[in-house]
Chains A and B, each alone.
Chain A
Amino acid sequence: MTRPTAPGAQNGAPGVSGIDRPADRTALRPAVAAAVSTRRGVELALLGLAAVITTGALVLVEANQEQELTWALLYLGAAYMALLALAHLAVRKFAPYADPLVLPLAALLNGIGLVMIHRIDLARIARAVSLGNEEPAQEAVRQVGWTAIGLVFFVGVLWLVPDHRTLARYGYTAGFVGLILLALPAVLPASLSEVNGARIWIRLGPASIQPGEFAKILFVVFFASFLVVKRDLFTSAGKHFLGMTFPRPRDLGPLLVAWGVAMAVLVFESDLGTSLMFFGIVLVMLYVATERISWVLIGLTIFGAGAFAAWTFVSRVQVRVSVWLDPFADYNGRGFQVSQGLFGLATGGMGGTGLGAGRPELVPFSSTDFIFTSLGEEIGLVGIAALLLIYCLLATRAMRSALAVRDTFGKLLAAGLGFAIAWQVFVVVGGVINLIPNTGITAPFVSYGGSSLVANYALVALVLRVSNAARQPSQDKRPGTPVPGQQAPLAPLAEASTEMVSRDQVRTPPHGSVRHEAGAPAGHPDQAPRGRTRGE
């Protein structure tokens, strides 16, 4: 078989195998580009549908609350759509190959949350008026402001992190900052950090921040970079017992540190939710990195022991557990919130009372921790199931990106972030439906709360960044710089990795060439032979 000696010898030479020819690629491009696209159009269409649903929900609330139906409602919907369109344009510019579902899913959750917060505002205002009190501030207006800030963070993360692998370099910094954010409220005086008994806030004038929400993302970044480097430590040999390989006791150190932090949060900040979130993320990332169920078992065991100790000694935890066991035992006192939430869900039933037609404001904290019972009362099981499916899809898209991306850090990062969303939803919904003790954390994107919304938009931006790397064909390797005009052929997720950078194929002589038979020098580390230069 004859082999070409120069890249120019390609005009129909038979038997050219294994080498890619640039001319071929250009010829193929138009046909392929038509077949596979970046699917940004799908994203825009779904965003439009999300805006329609949100506006529709708003109109229903106003109509049911006997408010005046004005064109201003449509303007509100248009403003919401405009904000999302800006986010969409940012995705087009900074992450053109990103997953098309993630942003619309987050946007719809945010929109429904806004409508529900507004609906509870109306109820609170009506009650204040009937009691002759001053009208309370509208939470929905502030939440719209937080949404704008969240989208600024979203665009900022996409812009400032052109490649998720750069984050791996700041792993320890992220972990350190996360630890400071988590510990800060416990150190600050209670007047600055305590709201409703939990010391997880930093109050700065009118705005209060929940630093734990940001710490969540920073910890995922830290653990991803830590586990990429130290994975061997956790997979090294250990005892076989009950069909599992248990780690050596001295390798348990990092897990014990994480456990200590989780327990400290529980004791010093009296916050079950943050503690549970933090430890769950650590355990799952360890499991993803090592594929050993023994880590999860050990983690659950020591967390169970710690939680039992906390139940014995910390009064706030005792209250939560006794309410969980029997919410109606102290109906007018400590069990009031959970009981009212359950009554709300029962009132909603299958189809709900209709948006704006229920009484969700009867539940304390109906716009933050208990927004799911408010939604359950007004859109019923059918609607709540749709919302939970949307959360589920959001988490699976992150997991899908984790499977498809080709670097280990990206895999761990996307898996950790996706799990963080799913876990937070489980903890908050499980709490309000009394499946687990109520913990008082926010439902991502839906609950009223600035820190939560902003942090979750940043989280979603990171997921988009990883999915962009996963779906990006490798000709267009430089992240964030789409090549205009010549749309590179986009492979579907699983096959994205089969593309090759053309410079290697052009420059490298075919295998079996005489030069290689001479044998490369054995002690020549990390350098390709034949004087190929990197970074060209």
Chain B
Amino acid sequence: MPELVLQITRAGFLALLWLFVLAALRVVRSDLYAASGLRAAAPGGRRPSTRGGSSKPARGGGRSGPRALIVTAGALAGTRIALDGRPIMLGRADDSTLVLDDDYASTRHARISQSGDDWYVEDLGSTNGTYLDRNKVSGPTRVPVGTPIRIGKTVIELRS
């Protein structure tokens, strides 16, 4: 093979190899932006606009309520779940939003749901109870931002 052709194909092959790497990195990047929440058009993000706007006109853009639920202690520590108005189920059941592999958690342990601008936690008849800060939750209880909710060894918080 002539020397010139050899050199050109050699460089061309390396360029193609790096093209593949860059294409793969592009796919990774699109995932990164999705994960950081910069993409506003997440599927759940539209939900507030579809419900009746009579009681909460302020919820569209600059709402001040909690935006995420964060696990601060326990096996799932560091997990972040974006809040979109739908209730969050906690428990050992496979279809829970947060599946707790905790000896002290029940199958359907607790639910965190929204009413107006506030979020409420309620215990679903668990064996070992749900604690808001240090108080056992008996009925639906309002959850202030940053107050720990304890279920067994797992601690979760709402963050704005």
Contacts and interface: CB of A to CB of B under 8 A. Distances in A.
Q: Do A and B bind each other?
A: yes
A405 to B, nearest CB: 10
Given A386-B17, A501-B95, A524 B125 contact: yes
Contact of B111 (A104, A511, A517, A523): A511
Interface in B97-150: 97-99, 101, 103, 106-108, 111, 113-116, 120, 122-125, 127, 138-140
A44 to B, nearest CB: 12
Contact of B124 (A101, A357, A493, A528): A528
Contacts, number: 229
Given A50-B20, A108-B20, A492-B39, A520 B10 contact: no
Contact of B86 (A397, A494, A498): A498
A528 B108 CA distance: 6
A512 B118 CA distance: 13
A15 interface: yes
A18 B89 CA distance: 12
Contacts of A512: 115, 120, 139-140
Contacts of A32: 43, 46
A107 to B, nearest CB: 11
A135 interface: no
Contact of A519 (B6, B12, B93, B139): B139
Contact of B37 (A16, A18, A494): A494
Contacts of B108: 526-528, 532
A431 interface: no
Contacts of B13: 53, 56-57, 60, 355, 379, 383
B4 interface: no
Nearest to B106: A526
Given A15-B54, A383-B17, A473-B43, A495 B34 contact: yes
B58 interface: no
Nearest to A1: B55
Interface residues on B, range: 35 or more
Contacts of A504: 87, 89, 95
B152 to A, nearest CB: 11
A393 B24 contact: yes
Interface in B36-95: 36-37, 39, 41-44, 46-47, 50-52, 54-55, 75-76, 79-89, 92-95
Contact of B115 (A18, A101, A409): A18
In this complex, which of B17, B46, B97 has the most chain A Cβ atoms within 10 angstroms of its Cβ?
B17
A14 interface: yes
B139 to A, nearest CB: 6
Given A53-B17, A528-B124, A495 B82 contact: yes
B46 A28 contact: yes
Interface in A49-105: 49-50, 52-53, 56-57, 60, 63-64, 66, 100-101, 104-105
Given A383-B14, A474-B95, A505-B86, A516 B50 contact: no
B72 to A, nearest CB: 13
Contacts of B50: 24, 27-28
A511 B85 CA distance: 14
Contacts of A528: 107-108, 124-125
Given A18-B114, A494-B82, A498-B84, A408 B95 contact: no
Nearest to A519: B138
Interface string B1-20: 10000110111111011111
B81 to A, nearest CB: 5
A521 interface: yes
Contacts of B12: 56
Contacts of B125: 520-521, 524, 527-529
A357 B6 contact: yes
A493 B81 CA distance: 11
Nearest to A525: B127
A105 B94 CA distance: 31
Interface of B: 1, 6-7, 9-14, 16-21, 23-25, 27-28, 31, 34-37, 39, 41-44, 46-47, 50-52, 54-55, 75-76, 79-89, 92-95, 97-99, 101, 103, 106-108, 111, 113-116, 120, 122-125, 127, 138-140
8 contacts: A53-B17, A105-B24, A491-B44, A495-B35, A498-B44, A498-B83, A512-B140, A529-B124
Interface of A: 1, 12-18, 20, 24, 27-28, 32, 35-36, 39, 42, 45-46, 49-50, 52-53, 56-57, 60, 63-64, 66, 100-101, 104-105, 108, 165, 228, 231-232, 351-352, 354-355, 357, 379-380, 382-383, 386-387, 389-390, 393, 396-397, 400, 404, 406-409, 473-474, 477, 489-495, 497-501, 504-505, 508, 510-512, 516-517, 519-521, 523-529, 532, 534
